[in-house]
Structure 1
Amino acid sequence: MFIAYVLLAVVLSLVLVFSAVPDITRDPKVTEGLKALGVPDNWFLPLGLVKIAGALGLLAGIAYRPLGIAAAIGVVLYFLGAVITHVRGGDKKGIGIPAAIMLFAVAPLVLGFATV
């Protein structure tokens, strides 16, 4: 199970980093959609940095599992918030990616507890 945890933590970390880059660089494709949902301009950098922190926490969790578990909980909650934001904004088309990442983040969380 440890190998599965490591693989999932690494893959999820890569997903988080690739998801954070458009937030941090203010890619118009991403920022316009977020602005339409009511996300203020000054939140883009912090939201991107939170994703980077989640990725680093998951990777650090390979060596120190409680940190990985905490990071996975944070990632699940972050993307739960993203799903709620899309629902409240009436953007049913945009729910898929945050929901998929949220569900994917549950796997390292469960495996983190299983491999403590």
Structure 2
Amino acid sequence: MTTTHTILAVALSLVFLPLGLAKTAAVPFMRQAAAHLGMSPGLYRVIGALEVAGAAGLLLGLASVPLGVAAAAGLAVLMVAAAVVHLRHGDPPVQALPAAVLALMAVVYAGAAIAAG
């Protein structure tokens, strides 16, 4: 395990865990975001649960590399999908940028985890 691998796992988890929990709890801000994107609160809760599971998988990946790589791959796919949804909904590209950056960070994490062995 490398320092890069550990820092990315913690940083990504610190982003995905609170956002995922807010989505699963359906806090007002997240309900508004779901409505803006034309998603049901139920679907947004599922996305939140996937984010929480991904954050947990990243942290567990510090002990089990394959689990961390799988979690990072899942989060990368989820974030690419999020960026696409924002763009298809007509949002300006700057609103899709955070999801794209998180997807890239998840891919870098996976690469660092694989390189660390």
- Provide TM-score, normalisation by structure 2: 0.90
* Matched position secondary structure for 2:95: coil
In structure 1, the residue matched to 2:59 is 59
Q: Does the 8 Å CA contact 2:37/2:85 hold for their aligned counterparts?
A: yes
SS at match of 1:94: helix
Q: Shift of residue 33 of structure 1?
A: 2.4
Once the two structures are superposed, the pairs formed by residues 1-40 of structure 1 within 5 Å of their partners are: 2-40=2-40
CA RMSD of aligned residues (A): 1.4
Deviations 1:2-59 (A, max 9, x none): 1210111011111101211321222222321221212112112211110010011111
Percent of aligned pairs with the same amino acid: 32
- State the distance in 2 between where 1:100 and 1:65 align: 22
Match runs of 1:1-116 below 5 Å: 2-92=2-92, 93-116=94-117
AA matched with 2:106: A
Q: Which runs of 4+ in 1 moved over 3 A?
A: none
Normalised TM-score (structure 1) = 0.91
- For structure 1, the 5+ residue unaligned runs are none
* Count of residues paired in the alignment: 116
The answer for unaligned runs of 5 or more in structure 2 is: none
